[in-house]
Amino acid sequence: MNALVEVEAVRTDALFLSYVQRSQRPSPEIIREAVTDTVDRLGEDRCAELVAQEFGEHPDCALDRMLWARRAVRLAFL
């Protein structure tokens, strides 16, 4: 995996796990802040572990949140 893809994956995981909700229609600034706060609090490896756990426990809603998180990260970190 190249470095850019890896960074995007970490950011997406962090947003997925953050307090930010899609219904809030968060601004790019809020998204960037939430990503930074989540990575600082949990660390990259723990983010990946918790995302995997969510997919195992709640696959029905995890996919939609992940798709939203990926799109939001791409827009916020252009």
Per-residue pLDDT, 72: 98
- The full set of domain ranges for the chain reads 3-76
Q: What percent of the chain has pLDDT over 90?
A: 92
**73 touches 19 (CB < 8 A):** no
**Greater model confidence, 33 or 78:** 33
* Average pLDDT score, the chain: 95
- pTM for the model stands at 0.92
Per-residue pLDDT, 2: 83
H/E run at residue 16:
helix 3-17
**pLDDT of 1 over the 80 cut:** no
Per-residue pLDDT, 3: 84
Euclidean distance between CA atoms 25 and 29, whole angstroms: 11
Residue type, 41: R
